[in-house]
Amino acid sequence: MRFSQIFGHTLKEAPSDAQAISHQYLIRGGYIHQVAAGLFSYLPLARRVLNKIEGILHEEMAAIGGQEVTMPVVLPADMWQESGRWYTIGSEMTKFHDRKDHDMVLAMTHEEALCNLASKYIRSHKELPQLVYHIQTKWRDDARPRAGLIRVREFKMKDSYSLDTSWEGLDKQYRAHYQSYFNIFNRCGLDVLAVKSDTGMMGGKIAHEFMYLTPIGEDTIIYCDNCGYHSNRQVADFKKPEAVKEDLKELEKVETPNSKTIEELADFLEIPESRTAKAVFMVATVQEDNETEVEKFIIAILRGDMNLNETKLANAVKAKDLRPAHEDEIKAAGAVPGYGSPVGIKGAIVVVDDLAAESTNLVGGANEDGYHLLNVNCGRDFKADLVIDITAAETGHRCIECGHVLEAEKAVEVGNIFKLGTRYSEAMNVTYQDKNGKVQPVIMGSYGIGVGRLLSCVVEQHHDDYGIKWPISIAPFEVEIVLLHDKKGTEAQDVAETLYEEFKAAGVEVLFDDRKESPGFKFNDADLVGIPLRLTVGRRALDKGGVEFKLRGSKDNEIVPVDKAVEKIKAEIERLHKEIRDSLQTVEYKD
RNA sequence: CGGGCUGUGGCGCAGGGGGAGCGCGCGCCGUUCGGGACGGCGAGGCCGGUGGUUCAAAUCCACUCAGCCCGACCA
């Protein structure tokens, strides 16, 4: 490709909208164009990168037995009604009517489509196991697109679906994906971490997320430096401190003016925060059946020095939605904000964290302005509907595995794998006949990778102050020829043209900067666009007997004779590929 | 959906009741040519939109739309 003919051009300055480095470089490099919030056009350069990534996805899927299909982006509503997600997913899902006034859905993901397909074609245990996948557009009307391609509304995703007759079969495919995903990300040059995660809207049993650690991420990983434990904060476990257990003392009301927060209360009473109980008032939306959902008032009780993990609480009460209660709702329940506790409150679901439930003689609210109760004890003074871990793991807590101090770091989720089990197959009748002729639900898994998000994360990981530094595996071109105008004659021009033809003939992906621009301009663009290998053809190098070879990001360069240039570049391409191949490792599966 | 910020040529920005400007980029001509060269000529904007105030609005007011950041949410 001649640089002069590329559709799109580089920019000296990024639009002020672009904050994330990947967003800035992708726009400045002429890779992407923003159409609206969370909607992007991919220009030819980016398209080439996407093609490379998709190529890797195809190879790795094939390696674990995946068969490619394509399912529609527009889906009829009835299959989403069958799965129930029609009713449980909110405005993130776009629904519309076709001309016949049928309810339609823009697919956010394709479990329903796949189940519908599988229910038609899977009949017998002899046809299982299966692994099918596609790379398809998804639409999620996200409330807050951000950071360029990191969080968008329309995006392409590789999603695969495994179909098995046994849990062992599912486990095998799940583990195959676990390894495959490391291969995929590492082949793209991205360092990732697999962490245990919440199953969220997907439902199902076990899930892992593949995380790229970066401060611009919006997930938080809790990890242990000592033993390697890591988990999404949403589901992170930690070793709770020993509960203080004393003989139960008598309940006593004390005046505690201006002590609405745990900190103020602990200060006022001169006790540690760990001797208090924190009441968090929440409202959960719970699905009664497909048609009705009800709001339930929840009082969550934690030890005063701990914070609520809303995901854990939502899962504990099977909430579709969970939000903090409004002040009037708290009052209506008979509690007093700042002085609240479940003591004497009726009609609320009381969820007590195990640590708070075991602790004795805590200080809790009296549900009276300016008063607290000493020696509150779970079970005696209030009844717990549920005792379960609902505390958020935080920096400084102890590792559940080894007791070492936990750390936290931000991350972007670039992939996920879910053991769905029979959650969809039962709802959508994806069944087969087993050896005994008995009808059984298929046991499923689903496995996703956001292609554009992966691309932008690679830019986050591979760049410097001048631009992108593509790994050879996904670079839009392998080598860039930079032609510097030679006023004394046409030799440079001729050499560059010849090399360009030779590279094309040799099957090397070459970008030829043939533009009539000054050297500095071209070098800066080369750095920005980020092609891994660079050949500079100019008077200076020709006088030294060849053309100048340089790796993107390296300061060193060497003169290569013109007739050795193709050979040299091919060797360098192979060397870079080998570097990536050699870095691939078998990873240990962690539950 | 809450809080904050921003909308003026392709990009970056200034101006802030009476002329629509600057830098970069873009077109043509000439010079230049190893890290974003220079001169000359030129194209390009109903100042996000609507309504209002005013003799007069890019500028003041109201409403509205869009984008970005933080939060809620989410792959």
Q: Which nucleotide is nearest to A547 (CA to C1')?
A: B34
Calculate the angstrom distance between C1' of B15 and CA of A376. 66
The interaxial angle of helices A44-63 and A451-461, nearest 10 deg, is 110
Placement of tokens 């004795």 in the chain: A360
**What Å value separates CA A517 and C1' B33?**
8
Q: Are residues A345 and A358 in contact, defined by beta-carbon separation less than 8 angstroms?
A: no
Task: Tally the residues of chain A.
Answer: 591
Specify the nucleotide whose C1' lies closest to residue A451 (CA): B75
Rg (CA), chain A: 29
Q: What is residue A262's predicted lDDT score, i.e. its pLDDT?
A: 81
User: How confident is chain A (591 residues) per 10-residue block, as mean pLDDT?
Assistant: 92 88 94 92 95 97 96 93 84 88 92 94 94 95 90 94 95 95 96 81 73 90 83 80 79 79 80 83 74 76 83 78 75 76 77 81 80 80 81 83 84 92 90 94 95 95 94 97 86 92 96 92 94 94 92 92 95 96 88 73
CA nearest A115: which of A435, A420, A320, A415?
A420
Q: What is the pLDDT of residue A202?
A: 54
Could you tell me the distance in Å between the CA of residue A458 and the C1' of nucleotide B56?
Answer: 56
Nearest nucleotide relative to A219: CA against C1': B74
Q: What nucleotide is nearest A448 when CA is compared to C1'?
A: B75
Query: Could you tell me the distance in Å between the CA of residue A204 and the C1' of nucleotide B75?
Result: 16
Q: Token pair of A326, please?
A: 């409004």
The angle at the Cα of A116, spanning A110 to A122, to the nearest 5 degrees, equals 115
Secondary structure (3-state) at A298: strand
Asked if residues A279 and A342 have their Cβ atoms less than 8 Å apart, the reply is yes
Give how far the C-alpha of residue A345 lies from the chain's centroid of Cα atoms, to the nearest Å. 40
CB A209 within 8 A of CB A222: no
- Helix (H) or strand (E) segment spanning residue A355: helix A354-358
pLDDT of residue A291: 62
Task: Please tell me the predicted confidence (pLDDT) of residue A200.
Answer: 61
Nucleotide whose C1' lies closest to the alpha carbon of residue A147: B68
In terms of CATH, what superfamily is A252-387?
A: YbaK/aminoacyl-tRNA synthetase-associated domain (3.90.960.10)
Report the distance from CA of residue A176 to the C1' of nucleotide B14 in Å, as an integer: 59
Question: What pLDDT score does A204 carry?
Answer: 58
| Minimum CA–C1' distance nucleotide for A36 | B67
Whole-number pLDDT of residue A31:
95
Strands A479-483 and A321-324: unpaired
Domain A479-582 in CATH 3.40.50.2000? The answer is no
User: CA at A339, C1' at B44: how many angstroms apart?
Assistant: 65
| Token digits of residue A370 | 């300016």
- Nearest nucleotide (C1') to the CA of residue A218? B74
Distance CA A285, CA A310 (A): 13
> Smallest Cα–Cα separation from A232: which of A224, A223, A241?
A223
- pLDDT recorded at residue A210: 94
Residue nearest to nucleotide B32 (CA to C1'): A518
In angstroms, rounded to a whole number, what is the distance separating the alpha carbons of residues A522 and A26? 17
Q: Which nucleotide is nearest to A518 (CA to C1')?
A: B33
CA of A582, C1' of B64: distance in angstroms:
58
How buried is A273 (Cβ within 10 angstroms: 0-12 exposed, 13-18 middle, 19+ buried)? middle
The spacing between the Cα labelled CA in A548 and the C1' in B33, in angstroms, equals 17
Note the CA–C1' distance, A102 to B51, in angstroms: 39
Residue whose CA is minimally distant from B68 C1':
A17
**In terms of C-beta distances under 8 Å and separation of at least 24 residues, what long-range contacts does A313-316 make, across chains too?**
A313/A282, A313/A284, A313/A351, A313/A390, A314/A284, A315/A198, A316/A351, A316/A386, A316/A388, A316/A390
Paired strand residues for A284 = A296, A322
Distance A157 CA to B3 C1' (A): 33
CB-based burial, A533-554: b 16+ in 10 Å, e otherwise: bbbbbbeebbeeebbbbbebee
**Nearest residue, CA→C1' of B26:** A9
Site of tokens 């409004």: A326
> Which positions on chain B have an atom < 7 Å from some protein CB?
1-2, 6, 11-13, 23-25, 32-37, 66-75
Cα gap A428→A446, rounded to integer Å: 15
| Range list for CATH 3.90.960.10 in chain A | 252-387
CATH superfamily, with its number, for domain A3-235+408-460: Bira Bifunctional Protein; Domain 2 (3.30.930.10)
- The tokens describing A571, both together, are 């060797």
Q: Closest nt to A27 (CA→C1')?
A: B11
Q: Please tell me which residue lies nearest to nucleotide B74, judged from CA to C1'.
A: A142
Domain with CATH 3.40.50.800 in chain A: 479-582
CA of A481 to C1' of B48 (A): 42
